[in-house]
Amino acid sequence: MRFNAKDLALLARQPSGWFDKEGKLKICRVVGDEKLIEPRERWCRLKGNLLFLMKNKSSEASEVLILERCWVVEFRNKTDVSIVLKFQSGEPDLYLEAASKPDCESWAVALGEANSEGLRNKIQQLRRLIMEIKEERSADEASQFLPSSQLDSLGEPQFTSIRRIANEPKLEFSLACKDLAAATRDRKLNTFIQVSVVHPAEHVLTRYSSTEIVEGTRDPLFLTGVTFPPEYPIYEETKIKLTVYDVKDKSQDTVRTNVLPDHKEPRADVGRSFLGCTTFRVGDLIKSKEQQLTLTLRASDGGKTVGTIEVNLVKMGELEDGETDHITTDAQDQKFLCFLPLKSCSRGFLCATCVHNTENLERMTDRQAKEECALVRECTATESISGKDNLPSLNAVLKNPICKLYRFPTSDNKWMRIREQMAETTLSFHVPKELINLHIKEDMRRNQELKDLGELAPHWDNMRKSVIAHCDQMLSMYQDTLAELGKHTGSSFKSSCSKGEKTLEFIPINLHLQRMHVHSPRLKDALYDVITVGAPAAHFQGFKNGGLRKLLSKFEAERRNTGYQCIYYSPENTAKAKEVLSNINHLQPLISSHADLLLNSASQHSPDSLKNSLKMLSEKTELFVHAFKDQLVRSALLALYTARPGCVLKKPAAPRNSAEEGSDLQHQDHPSQIKRQDSIPHHSEYDEEEWDRVWANVGKSLNCVIAMVDRLLEKDNVGNVKEGENDPSAADCKVLHTGGDWYEQLYPLVITLKDCMGEVVTRAKQSMAFVLLQELACGLPQCLMLTLRRDIVFSQALAGLVCGFIIKLHTGLHDQGFLQQLHTVGLLVQYEGLLSTYSEEAGMLEDMAVGISDLQKVMFKVIEAKSEDFLPLITGRREHYVIEVQLPAKMFELLPQEIKEGKLLRMYPVLFNVGINEQQTLAERFGDTTLQENINQENLELLKEYYKLFTEKMPPDCLPHFQEQNDLKGLLENLHQNIQARKRKNVEIMWLAATICRKLNGVRFTCCKSAKDRTSMSVTLEQCSILRDEHQLHKDFFIRALDCMRREGCRIENVLKNVKCRKYAFNMIQLMAFPKYYRPPEGTYGKADT
């Protein structure tokens, strides 16, 4: 080789900044494994493909190496700091030793990229990046300058639409590669495919999705497919570009899928290299004879072939061998296997699809069919609901769906297909707003009742003024919060980054429906739902002093020991006072209305109408009278009497006193308490029997009305009047004649009834308001702050519950066993908690436990929708709520008569928590896990009560999927043993509880702090476990399926939605503390804001 020595010497003497890299290295020649001489220190300078070797920095170059037709061998030993340059010419290898491992690695990279081949790779990479930048810029410009309506409709008239089953995804296909070419012979490929879409009108390339990474093969078969939802603008003329990449470092290749309009993801080209790409038309795939395309992959210059790629059209209703499930809607008296997968549509999420597999049904008896998978429903053809009927009610609840497609091998070497779906819910904001509005009305009513107490002695009056002032401040806060929520537009979920925002504290965190629809070759299609939501907790208020469980206990203990300025009433009696007030507000207008209807029937002289009106009036009046039987009202009236101004107080009564009698305390072991209650004495001038007389007058007045109606009807039937000589009711009536007009004879009796009821209402309202005054006065301002915190936590919990109930109701509409269970027993709601019992998360767990327990006071009622608004309605008060779920007429007709008549449906919420992170490790070794143990034990008892109730009220074979009783008994006993074992991070508790919930037809919830990271690990593990246990997933593919769902599934999309980064918020140290199956795959975790 000819060269100019002077020019090379000049190059070697250039300033330091001119070189690509320079520094000290120890160098020697190597033949085989033997060094020819001991390594000598040299100053090395690299420029382009020239490596200058110098004795020191200022000396002349003693040797120049041209780095062509050579490669770098880097030793992987963590302690080794040497590399070797090997030459194709057969010359001795060059041994280079650096001062440190980082220096060694940087030299290896620099030398590896120094030759002309490395330069060509750089040029190709830069060309590819320029092309992608141009493509993305074009997409941005199109979005910027075209109105959204124009973008949505662009090209629709002139392009051919894809014909698919209604409400199914427009297009789904799977991918596989063959004979991929690697850069070097010994290189094992780790490949994935990036999918991009070219719209035929815009000619803009948009990244859409990608597959998982398949390692160590040149013939990868990808488990992750591609799915386009019904609303996606894709046509037969649309082109799909498939780009294959080889991943060198998975830890750097975590951001690969589509670019969202409001967020551009950082590039990840550092950890991957381009292999090849190809393009096809959607129409070619659909019209292909075998619905399969085999395409050639070509390098970036379009010349060299680097392999082939197979594209297979996927239909969820088809079997792998080509046999198809027959879909029909007109067969009579045949059984259908009804599944209700949520499918995205232009307005949100949809609807029921009935799939009829004739072969399976012919092979199974009815008994066998009932023993199949838990979530498969049965109905007859006449009962089926079309997608159009079911669409509006679900669209009112769910929106912004995300769908992923997989294919996994079964143990008998068949393929199952899985569609994973995730959707937000509009209930995240609807339910809290409805709830806050109810709180405002309830608090305004309470404040008015306190003002209506009348004149009080100075001590009590000052107390009332202070309470009302604090209550008005709290009321103003609720009103401001409602106003702020009314301004909210955009997303229907609250991201994990917003959990500390005050204006959103009533909104549940990251509430989503997670759904898995499984199509197996020899099993029924099955559907599995889990509601994922952040733990209901008051994040803005913080957890410095713990959560609700601790705060409520501490507050109650302090309230018992407050000074003598107020009267202590137990929480049970305070709740009773609120119930009495609620009954008054509910029953008084009803009784008044029925009394007016009675008079109207009398004026029309209608016997049948008169009977019906009297029946309704009697029922409501009896309920009204029964509401005041409690001793609390009488004792509260006495306490209120003594609080009036100018009341002459005698000496204090001994053991028998108003507060003790009224609140039924049974706390005589607290001397301070008895002393405080003695400050409210028993007044000798107070007539305790007066209330009994006032209260009894209502019943007597009703008896007079009943007696008069009986006489009028008897006269009408017989023609003469026969007054009973020994009629006890008649003796109390003032009007004894029965002649003349019916209305004139009933009117004075009805007025008397209303007057008596009005007097009872006035006294009872004042006495119960006085009880509430004591509750508030004894704990200001802590009482109101705790009420606020409890309202916040309950609001978050209720939004998730309403979502879960509605989805479960739609899924089970054709399951008569489930519907019977719903109105006979109630619905089991099982929460899986992943919070630790250390630091702030212990407070979150305390909040969550109280919030979920409070859901027991929620009842559901299903009503027929009277308009196009299908959002649920909420009525009631803090101690008792009724959620009215609206269904379209055709769906409402499918319900049992009991539910259609308005029977209230009970909820049975249970919570099982197992901390799994590094904080739980600290709690187990240095802290306290008693909170978790107590919660699990308490909820185990609740679960056993529900199971006992279920076995008592339901026939053994009522549910199609209900297993033998011994199975559930065994699971419950196993759960009991695991809870008692107190084993560290015993995740089997959660697995058992989830299995029991599914077998009992319950609703599943999974919660962690933000429902993002730990929840994703748990949900994906549950899905893969179901595929393994229920659908014969091949055991060798369990881990790969798990990694596939975590890397490319809906949960990584959930992470992106929350933190704008496709990484789970874990680090390596944290994951060392996690149970084995709760660790994400490499490259999917790292530093990310939570």
Assign 294 a pLDDT band (cuts: 50, 70, 90). very high
Model pLDDT for residues 135-189, shown as the tens digit of each residue: 545 444 433 334 444 444 444 447 788 766 656 788 999 999 998 988 776 678 8
Partnered with residue 850 across adjacent β-strands are none
DSSP string for 1004-1018? EEEE-SSSSSHHHHH
> Residue 654: what pLDDT?
35
DSSP 8-class letter at 856: G
Return the closest-CA partner of residue 154 out of 197, 208, 200: 200
Tell me if 806 sits within 8 A of 674, measured CB to CB: no
Q: DSSP strand E in 248-365: where?
A: 272-281, 292-298, 305-313, 335-339, 344-345, 348-349, 353-355
Return the closest-CA partner of residue 532 out of 1023, 1034, 1047: 1023
The yes-or-no verdict on residue 445 having pLDDT over 60 is: yes
* Whole-number Å distance between alpha carbons of 749 and 697: 12
Quote the radius of gyration of the chain (alpha carbons, Å).
38
Tell me if 714 sits within 8 A of 610, measured CB to CB: no
The yes-or-no verdict on residue 835 having pLDDT over 80 is: yes
Assign 740 a pLDDT band (cuts: 50, 70, 90). very low
The yes-or-no verdict on residue 793 having pLDDT over 70 is: yes
> Residue 139: what pLDDT?
43
Model pLDDT for residues 873-928, shown as the tens digit of each residue: 999 999 899 999 999 999 999 999 999 999 999 999 999 999 999 999 999 998 88
Q: Which residues contact residue 1034 at a Cβ distance below 8 angstroms, ignoring those fewer than 6 apart?
A: 408, 409, 410, 411, 413
Question: For 951-959, what is the mean pLDDT?
Answer: 75
Q: Which residues contact residue 299 at a Cβ distance below 8 angstroms, ignoring those fewer than 6 apart?
A: 275, 276, 305, 306
φ/ψ region of 218 (left if φ > 0, alpha if ψ in -120 to 50, else beta) reads alpha
> Residue 855: what pLDDT?
97
Return the closest-CA partner of residue 423 out of 512, 532, 516: 512
Q: Which of 1-5, 504-508, 965-969 has the highest mean pLDDT?
A: 504-508
> Residue 858: what pLDDT?
96
The yes-or-no verdict on residue 743 having pLDDT over 90 is: no
Question: For 2-13, what is the mean pLDDT?
Answer: 79
Mean pLDDT of the chain: 80
> Residue 142: what pLDDT?
39
Q: How many residues does the chain have?
A: 1090
Q: What is the pTM of this model?
A: 0.74
Model pLDDT for residues 349-404, shown as the tens digit of each residue: 333 333 333 333 333 333 333 333 333 332 322 233 334 445 567 778 898 889 99
Model pLDDT for residues 661-697, shown as the tens digit of each residue: 333 333 333 333 323 333 333 444 556 677 778 878 8
For 799, the enclosing helix (H) or strand (E) is helix 782-811
Q: Which of 325-334, 625-634, 962-971, 1049-1058 has the highest mean pLDDT?
A: 1049-1058
Give CA 1013 to chain center in angstroms. 13
Return the closest-CA partner of residue 812 out of 142, 340, 191, 201: 340
First-to-final CA distance of the chain: 60
Model pLDDT for residues 225-264, shown as the tens digit of each residue: 999 888 888 888 899 999 999 987 766 554 443 333 333 4
Model pLDDT for residues 33-90, shown as the tens digit of each residue: 676 678 889 999 998 888 999 988 888 888 888 888 888 886 656 667 888 888 888 7
For residue 90, the SS3 value is: coil
* Whole-number Å distance between alpha carbons of 803 and 782: 32
> Residue 717: what pLDDT?
73
> Residue 423: what pLDDT?
93
Tell me if 178 sits within 8 A of 307, measured CB to CB: yes
| Tokens at 350, concatenated | 């949809």
> Residue 374: what pLDDT?
31
Higher pLDDT, 371 or 728: 728
> Residue 303: what pLDDT?
67
For residue 944, the SS3 value is: helix
Looking at this protein, which amino acid is placed at residue 730?
A
* Whole-number Å distance between alpha carbons of 645 and 552: 34
* Whole-number Å distance between alpha carbons of 142 and 217: 40
For residue 911, the SS3 value is: strand
> Residue 1039: what pLDDT?
94
Tell me if 1035 sits within 8 A of 1026, measured CB to CB: no
Cβ of 289: how many Cβ atoms within 10 Å? 5
Higher pLDDT, 270 or 858: 858
For residue 63, the SS3 value is: strand
Cβ of 922: how many Cβ atoms within 10 Å? 16
| Tokens at 401, concatenated | 């769906």
Using the structure block, give the residue that is written with the tokens 């991918």.
Answer: 175
Question: For 457-462, what is the mean pLDDT?
Answer: 89
Kindly list the distances between the CA atom of residue 731 and the CA atoms of 360, 615, 704, 742, in Å, as whole numbers in the listed order.
Answer: 75, 22, 9, 20
> Residue 252: what pLDDT?
57
Tell me if 808 sits within 8 A of 1003, measured CB to CB: yes
Residues belonging to the active site:
1008
Return the closest-CA partner of residue 475 out of 440, 430, 424, 446: 440
For residue 355, the SS3 value is: strand
How do 526-532 and 512-519 pair as beta strands? antiparallel
> Residue 564: what pLDDT?
53
Cβ of 68: how many Cβ atoms within 10 Å? 13
> Residue 563: what pLDDT?
53
